[in-house]
Amino acid sequence: MTPGEPLIRWDWLGSHAGEIGQRVGEHLELTLIAVAVGFAIAFVLSVLALRVPRLYPPITWTTGILYTIPSLALFALLVPYTGLSLLTAEIGLVSYTLLILIRNIVAGVRGVPAEVREAARGMGYTDRQILWRVELPLALAVIFAGIRVATITTIGLVTVTALIGQGGMGYFILLGIQLFFSTPLIVGALGSVMLAVLADGGLVLVQRALTPWTHAR
């Protein structure tokens, strides 16, 4: 960022293509683990909250607090215990997905019309069958909206984990700040935004394939 220096040095891009590819892979891996683990935990807590409605407020309250704690602060609080590790990054990333996912799973299932549920019960479905064969399929669109938001948010947060030695595109941003060199800065920032946009587009396609009835006219 010294005067006369171009904003992007294309030769740097060329000579670091391999490393950029590797960091993109890291970024996606960190995101995938966080959303998958987050979804598994959120799913269990949501089913619990749907069965025992009294548990819903404390669950949203707790995950709400986790969501409010700044990401860097949460990572920092974990470092003395779990070190500068993948585990530290994932505990933070997972805890940010919980509120978004639980809200959408619960809202999606609660949004299923009562008549549909009663019809299923009248046909002799058990509670478990109603959940798996009626409520969850019908709630899929809302649940997927939650997965999309959680994924985009996580892709953004992964950049912050570069501070605790995890990398992804955040590695290039930190490198750019440290070297005062705009090329990696822009590669990291634009790369992370592009990953978010692509992931969102990909999830929309998956959702369409899974819920063909939502766009059949």
Partner 1 sequence: MDARTVSALASLARWLTDPANWQGSHGIPVRILEHIELSGLSVLVAVAVAMPIALYFGHTGRGGFVAINVANIGRALPSLALLAFGLVIAISLGLGLGFWPTVFALVPLAIPPVLTNAYVAVREVDRDVVDSARGMGLSESQILRSIEVPLGLPLMLSGIRTAAVNVVATATLGALVAGGALGRFIVDGLALQEYDQLMAGALLVALLAVGTEVSFAALERATVPPGMAAIR
Residue 61, phi then psi, degrees to nearest 5: -65, -50
Among 37, 76, 86, 107, binds partner 1 (CB under 8 A): 76
Among 4, 6, 14, 70, binds partner 1 (CB under 8 A): 70
- Of the candidates 159, 216, 154, the one whose C-alpha atom is nearest the C-alpha of residue 184 is 159
Q: Which stretch binds partner 1 (CB under 8 A): 35-43, 106-114, 121-129, 194-202?
A: 194-202
Among 55, 65, 123, 204, binds partner 1 (CB under 8 A): 65
CA distance 21 to 104: 33
Rule CB under 8 A: say whether 196 interacts with partner 1.
yes
Q: Which is nearer to partner 1, 104 or 153 (CB)?
A: 153
Rule CB under 8 A: say whether 74 interacts with partner 1.
yes
Strands (E) located in 38-152: none
Cβ pair 216, 168 in contact under 8 A: no
Among 45, 185, 203, 207, binds partner 1 (CB under 8 A): 185
Rule CB under 8 A: say whether 156 interacts with partner 1.
yes
Q: Which is nearer to partner 1, 37 or 174 (CB)?
A: 174
Number of residues that bind partner 1 (CB under 8 A): 44
CA distance 78 to 190: 29
Q: Which residues of 71-89 are buried (b: 16+ CB within 10 A; e: fewer)?
A: beebbeebeeebeeebebb
CA distance 119 to 127: 12
Q: Which is nearer to partner 1, 42 or 196 (CB)?
A: 196
Q: Which is nearer to partner 1, 91 or 112 (CB)?
A: 91
Among 13, 20, 107, 193, binds partner 1 (CB under 8 A): 193
We find the least distance from the C-beta atom of residue 19 to partner 1, in angstroms, to be 17
We find the least distance from the C-beta atom of residue 182 to partner 1, in angstroms, to be 6
In the block, tokens 């669950």 appear at 59
Q: Find the radius of gyration of the CA atoms of the chain.
A: 21
Element (H, E) at 95: helix 86-110
Q: How many CA atoms lie within 13 A of 54 on its CB side?
A: 0
Applying CB under 8 A, the residues found at the interface with partner 1 are 1, 7, 65, 68-74, 76-77, 79-81, 149, 152-153, 155-160, 162-164, 169-170, 173-174, 176-177, 182, 185-186, 188-190, 192-193, 196-197, 200
